[in-house]
Amino acid sequence: MKAVESEFNKILNRVLEEVKPTEEEEKQVMEVVEDVISILKQELTQKAGVEEISLEGSFAKGTWIRGKEEADIFAQFNPRVDRETMASLTIKAGKTAVEKLGGFARLRYAEHPYVEGIVKNIQLNIVPCYRLDKGWKTAVDRTPHHTKFVKSNLTKEQRDQVRLLKALLQASNLYGAEIRVGGFSGYVTELMIVKYKTLENLLKHATTWKPPVVMEITSTNVDRVQIIRKFPNSPLIIPDPVDENRNAASAVTLQKLSEFILLAKLFIEEPSSRFFHRSEGHHPVVGSRNILGVFFEIRESKPPDILWGELLHSLNGVTKALEVAGFKVWRYDAWSDEKTVFMLFELEELELPGFYLHKGPEVFRETALGFVHKHVKDERTIAGPWVSGNRIYVLKKRTLTKVDEVLKQALQRSSVSLSHGLKRYVTEGAVIIAGYSNVISFADEHGLRSFVEGFLCGRPSYIDALKHMP
């Protein structure tokens, strides 16, 4: 420890006061957890195959942050127990425990079922898994090993560094491995602090990163080329110290890794507590913004990761369809409460010119004559065919020029690549709204003004704050 506290650490210590739970808060959670574990032990350990009831996750690791009072309790089964038995035993016991403590329980599914309960404002996830050291049978079988690894590799001070990192990522919308975010999971933040010891050191290193970034946690003698070959298409590769065949950071998108690099550069350049707070109140430049909105309802309930996977795919599909028609799509984003969806696109123009240039084959291709004959007498040919360089061109008339008409026709013709799970909601039910003021009116009617304004500003929180600084 340095004798004189650095400016950087002064800022972090102030922030830590906001994000680190107090001993009192910790005690409150711990009491509930102990009660749950005690009931689960009574309910389960007599049963054949239940080997341990354990506390896992960020609470176990001492890396959770205030406002996220949540504990994961795992029932670890002998691998010979079949899945159905394991699930039904845990569900029954979990419900019993939550209800005995006066809470409310419901069944949830990630890869397999678990019980989510709220007891005294604390969220409890009661999850069954197999007790295994390798040859995992379910995705959560690794969790107890993750907990163990992090606990034995992070000092008390480093746990606080994890908390600061999590708070920083949350404020910047980079936290969370869910598809909607595509960011950094809690485990990845812990591994990064295991590797770099402090937030400052991590950020300093991040300013020099260039994707793909390879981060080996336990060894330093890494064959970068081989690891990249093993995890192709991963912008961030952190081999899981608990299972080297898995990239612990596989959820992180190039987008989010790049944002983290830029955030690190801005932070290191001028450390400030502002990076830990979301900028509020967007003041977008409006005027003749060329905005297209697509709104639809989803008449079924889907797990969020499924829905957001479909949404991102469909956003891309609409963008591609607009581009094929001749529009330039500059930006897009989607909002959803998992019942309705609002997609926004900003385009260069909402109406295309009446004519377009159609590029034909090179004169020496077999198709050259066919192209000339096809177009020379066509009613929609405005000029040409002519030769430029070695290629034939023709100027053609457009039938539809307005973006909403173009999109409606493309949807009717099924020429928009939509994910199967959303297709009928979009094709049959989408409201298509072109133009800035129409989109604003629609957003106001549906309480979506804030999403639209954030979109129009088009700045992540860590950049938006810069704009409003003196």
Note the residues at the interface with its own copies (CB under 8 A): 209-211, 235, 254-255, 257-259, 261-262, 265-266, 269, 284-285, 287-290, 328, 330-331, 346, 348-349, 353-357, 362-364, 368-369, 372-373, 376-377, 381-393, 395, 456-460, 463, 466-467
Return the number of the residue (139 or 466) whose C-beta is nearest its own copies. 466
Closest to its own copies by CB, 4 vs 469, is 469
Distance CA 67, CA 51 (A): 32
Chain-centre distance for alpha carbon 227? 24
Least Å distance, CB 253 to its own copies, is: 9
Output 329 or 426, the one with its CB closest to its own copies: 329
Contact criterion met (CB below 8 Å) for 371 and 326 = no
Closest separation between CB of residue 235 and its own copies, Å? 8
3-class SS string, 341-403:
EEEEEEECCCECCCEEEEEEEECCCCCHHHHHHHHHCCCCEEEEEEEECCEEEEEEECCCCEH
For residue 393, what are the β-bridge partners?
A: 359, 386
Min dist. Cβ of residue 293 to its own copies (A): 16
Using CA atoms of 268, 273, 276, 278 in order, give the dihedral in degrees to the nearest 10: -110
Q: How far is the CB of 371 from its own copies (least distance, A)?
A: 10
Nearer Cβ to its own copies (280/366): 366
CB of 208 to its own copies, least distance (A): 8
Residue pair 134/243 in contact (Cβ under 8 Å)? The answer is: yes
Does the annotation flag 223 for ligand binding? Answer: no
* Shortest Å, Cβ 266 to its own copies: 7
Q: Quote the least distance from Cβ 117 to its own copies, whole Å.
A: 38
Tell me 460's DSSP state.
-
Residue 34 assigned ligand-binding role: no
61 is annotated as contributing to ligand binding: yes
Helix (H/G/I), strand (E/B), else coil: 253? coil
- Is 356 annotated as contributing to ligand binding? no
Q: Is the Cβ of residue 103 or residue 384 nearer to its own copies in the bound state?
A: 384
Phi-psi map region of 123: left, alpha, beta (phi>0 left; psi -120 to 50 alpha): beta
* 362 marked as binding residue: no
Q: Does the annotation list 166 as a binding residue?
A: yes
Between 62 and 271, whose beta carbon lies closer to its own copies? 271
State which residue, 72 or 351, has the beta carbon closest to its own copies. Answer: 351
Smallest CA-to-CA distance from 44 within 73, 3, 13, 11 is with: 73
Query: Concatenated DSSP letters for 289-349?
Result: --EEEEEEE--S---HHHHHHHHHHHHHHHHHHHHHHT--EEEEEEEE-SSEEEEEEEES-
Query: Does 420 show up as a binding residue in the annotation?
Result: no
Q: What is the C-alpha separation between 226 and 232, in angstroms, rounded?
A: 10
Tell me, rounded to whole angstroms, the distance of Cα 446 from its chain centroid: 24
**Residue list for the binding site for Mg(2+):** 70, 72
**Residue list for the binding site:** 58, 61, 70, 72, 146, 166, 175
**Residue list for the binding site for ATP:** 58, 61, 146, 166, 175
